[in-house]
Amino acid sequence: MKESLYIIKIGGNIIDDEAMLSSFLKDFASIAGHKILVHGGGKMATRVAEAMGVPQQILEGRRITDAETLKVVTMVYAGYINKNIVALLQAAGCNAIGLCGADGNVMKAHKRIHPVTDYGFAGDVDEVNIGLMKALMAQQLSLVFSPLTHNGQGLLLNTNADTIAQEIAKAMSELYKVSLVYCFEKPGVLLNAADDNSVIKNITVTSFIDLKEKNIITEGMIPKLQNAFTALEAGVKVVTIGHASNLQQLIQQQAGTSIVNE
């Protein structure tokens, strides 16, 4: 019987709030068994880039990563944010190790090819080194991933954190019973964006299409849900979306929005 593995993704709104991040990481540390944390940090990267005079361009929720922006996101994601999270987890009694895709050749990618838009040094994942991750977790380490990959030829690539979480979940489902949880600042996917009490309990592919057509689900939530369905199709057992403060309930599917097969 496969062991359980929890893969949790947090975004910039949680990272930017010291109290919320500290509380979340204590909850994460208390999860028994194998666990992996994937973090974003786009808002901090944008602030640092602007302070350094590096213009930023966001298209449909995706950052255009030119050469100077790549330097900024590497410093912010793999540097300050990643190591700060690892230090806070150590303080919470959770022995953690911070990684990007280049470390241990854990995640290789290629530079995104798009028929219309040049996303610069943005990466799409090709390979996930599940053997290395299993070996690290066997040492009772929790893994903390920043959203950077590499192409095997010396080039780092900025890679969407939701996608990183999905790709890890898909790959690790070969070895573990995987639960994937996307944590953000809302209690789930909302029927009414202005009403936190309008959480949609379950979303299927059919209802997702309907909600998109009605413009109830828009912008950044669309790729998040697309990642969720891709993970389910690849064998991930559970995908849940909800507020970071409800982590324990989310992993038990007692809160948030569950993404389910038809």
Interhelix angle 221-233/161-172, nearest 10 degrees: 10
Helix/strand/coil for 81: helix
Q: What letter does residue 52 receive in the DSSP assignment?
A: T
The arithmetic mean of pLDDT across residues 80-109, rounded, is: 98
pLDDT value at residue 14:
92
Please report the pLDDT score of residue 93 as a whole number.
Answer: 97
Average pLDDT estimate for 60-79:
93
Separation CA 158–CA 102 (nearest Å): 12
For 50, the enclosing helix (H) or strand (E) is helix 42-51
CA–CA gap between residue 125 and residue 112 (Å, rounded): 9
Average pLDDT in the 213-224 region?
A: 86
pLDDT at 188: 94
pLDDT tens digits, 124-166: 999 999 999 999 999 999 999 999 999 999 999 999 999 999 9
pLDDT digits (tens, 9 = 90+) for 5-55: 999 999 888 999 999 999 999 999 999 999 999 999 989 999 999 999 999
User: What's the predicted TM-score (pTM) here?
Assistant: 0.95
Q: What would the mean pLDDT of 83-98 be, rounded to a whole number? A: 98
Domains and their CATH numbers in the chain: 4-259 (3.40.1160.10)
For residue 60, is pLDDT > 80?
A: no
Q: What is the pLDDT of residues 150-207, one digit of tens each?
A: 999 999 999 999 999 999 999 999 999 999 999 999 999 999 989 999 999 999 999 9
In this predicted structure, what is the pLDDT of residue 62?
A: 78
Q: Determine the pLDDT at residue 12.
A: 81
pLDDT at 61 over 80: no
Q: Please give the pLDDT value at position 198.
A: 95
